[in-house]
Amino acid sequence: MARTVTKLADGRELIYFDAGPDAPPRTAVDRRPLDRAAPAAEVRQDPATGAWVTIAAHRQARTYHPPADECPLCPSRDGRLSEIPDADYQVVVFENRFPSLATSPGAVHPGAGAMDGGTTAGGAAGADPLRTARPGDGRCEVVCFTADHDVSFADLDEDRARLVLDAWTDRTAELSALPEVEQVYCFENRGAEIGVTLAHPHGQIYALPFTTPRTARMIEQAGRHREATGRNLFEDLLAAERADGERVVAAGEHWTAFVPFAARWPYEVHLYPNRRVADLTGLTEDERAEFPARYLDLLRRFDALFATPQAPGRTPYISAWHQAPTRDGGELALHLELFTIRRAAGKLKYLAGVESGMDAFVNDIAPETAARRLREALA
């Protein structure tokens, strides 16, 4: 893999990832007249739950559903300048122009002050425990999977999917080393139904200055399981699903995909490496080599779920990598969670009062039924 680092006109970093020994030189210069990026964000702690909430008001100005000929993620060509200066690319990662989190020298952070234990909204450390806030220091990156505007990740070949995995791994390693970062989250949102505002096939990476609530709950539950059994929760969970088999969608030598016993979403699949590792950097070459085929197979099954001859499938989904926090990951195991908000053709699963208000999910489809339909989707 060739890795070329450059800068955009406003100082943001851009990285080209190219596969093979004959990678082209990446010397194109961003010629746009952009002001230097200076975003500012704040994270505030909810005193009732302990969860951190990011306040990023500058994102209201971000690009919203541009026409295809004005897509900022397509290459710069035919006189049109975009976020990618080169006329073509394989995989590109760059700092988001409208980040939820960012470390920017000289940026004014609301309520900024001493970082130990956070600060109050007024800036005095420790003065009011009900108003804990601190600068939203971190990093948000965009990952462009291909220069082709009209395809999806499921349309990629295995070599390109492997290059994306290598890019995710590279960014996990580099971002985890930043002193302000506690967790690296790689994910993809696909489909307008999910809320995607740029149609070009891409994902994102958040380098977070806190551990997310879902991760914290997993680590806490893993601790309880260790105390009760002396074993790792995620190893036991994977072994139980592989032994039962009813909810397994696909399994290989190094990866297993299954619908969880208590799935929250109508169609939800978890993809685990068969050997427990904390994050993407811990995968072996054999595990990396098998991943593209296994992941592409899952995406194509999701697309086939609701497809008809008249309407080829493009199922909206969220694909989320769960990685251990950088400093205190407990016994969390790397895994990918893939789910769609579609429950039937033409019907979406909306988060209504009990889900949105109480975080208590009600699933319309039995996990065993979802697993069977996914196994049969490509038959």
Phi-psi map region of 13: left, alpha, beta (phi>0 left; psi -120 to 50 alpha): beta
Cβ count near 19 (within 10 Å): 15
CA 316 to CA 340: how far, in whole Å?
6
Give Cα 43 to chain centroid, integer Å.
19
Query: CA-to-CA distance for 101 and 139, rounded, in angstroms?
Result: 5
Q: What are phi and psi of 330, to 5 degrees?
A: 55, -130
Which residue in 200, 202, 225, 254 is the catalytic one?
202
Q: Rounded distance, CA 310 to CA 55, Å?
A: 43
Neighbour tally for 191: CB within 10 Å: 17
On whether the CB atoms of residues 37 and 83 are closer than 8 A, the answer is no
Give yes or no: 322 in active site.
Answer: no
Could you tell me the CA-to-CA distances from 258 to 128, 235, 237, 251, 346 in Å, in that order? 46, 14, 11, 8, 25
> Residue 220 class from Cβ within 10 Å (0-12 exposed, 13-18 middle, 19+ buried)?
exposed
- Report the catalytic residues: 202
